Amino acid sequence: MTPTLRTKTSEKEKAMSDKRVKDVMTHLVVTAHPEDSVHDIAGALARNAISGAPVVKDGRVVGVITEADLLVAVSPPVPVSRRLTVLDFISMIGRAKPMKDPRAASVGDAMTHSVITIRPTDSIWKAAAMMDRFGVKRLPVTDEDDALLGILSRADLVRAMGRDDAEIAAEVRSTVEVLGPDVFEDLETTCVDGVVTLAGMADRRSTRDIAVRIAMRVPGVTAIKDRLDYIADDDKISLPPRHDNPWAAARR
């Protein structure tokens, strides 16, 4: 039996485990098609200031094209018998003859076929771990049929994990207030280093519990300090006894 590798989860990871990729991913994605030319996709990457893009065919992700792939496509590496230094690499690129006309080379020829993707419902901590493990800067977000839904970059994760406290507090308040305009009295939301304090009075215990749960889903929140009180404890409300005969109540 293959042993299962278990890693210790930090308190911050536990607190943010319900943050989902769909909440922070970028929906507008620069994509390439396998038949696109290397020259054209290089221009697209440069114009959008990105270093790579998913390759999509018939709506499905079939590969990824990066700046490194483009360099290899037009300038194959020179065989060497020792480890290259940065200066060696720069010199090699300058001396190497193009493998083919970059306008003729296709994305399908140059792309990396092995693609690491992530689902929109996965946690952002899983995404961060995958980026670190595989050494990639972005993950295509796909559904169960490998259809492209968006892209998740390191920058997206950084923004989600390191947002301004005032911005987090404001979003928590607006998120909690969707429960209704009259369910809270003197609602206060404050945030310090990602830790949000909810204070005030809720109309009932269930409202308080729901408010705490949805506040934890706001990107950037690392923990919640619950200072919300409530007026009615609806957790103790008992339902009338159930009759085996559904017509019993009607006969009374």
Partners of 226 in the beta sheet?
Answer: 198
Token readout for 14 is: 């536990």
Q: What is the pLDDT of residues 23-68, one digit of tens each?
A: 889 888 899 999 999 888 988 988 888 888 999 999 899 999 988 8
Report the pLDDT value the prediction gives residue 13, as an integer from 0 to 100: 47
Q: For the chain, which ranges sit under pLDDT 70?
A: 1-18, 75-104, 236-252
Q: What is the pTM of this model?
A: 0.54
Instruction: Identify the three-state secondary structure at position 233.
Output: coil
**Cβ atoms of residues 211 and 180 within 8 Å:** no
Report the pLDDT value the prediction gives residue 75, as an integer from 0 to 100: 67
CA-CA distance, 225 to 71, in Å (whole number)?
A: 51
Q: Domains in the chain, ordered, with CATH?
A: 11-160 (3.10.580.10), 165-235 (3.30.1340.30)
Q: How far is CA 106 from CA 31, 50, 53, 59, 69, in A?
A: 14, 19, 14, 18, 11
Report the pLDDT value the prediction gives residue 10, as an integer from 0 to 100: 46
Report the pLDDT value the prediction gives residue 206, as an integer from 0 to 100: 93
Ramachandran angles phi, psi of 74, nearest 5°: -105, -15
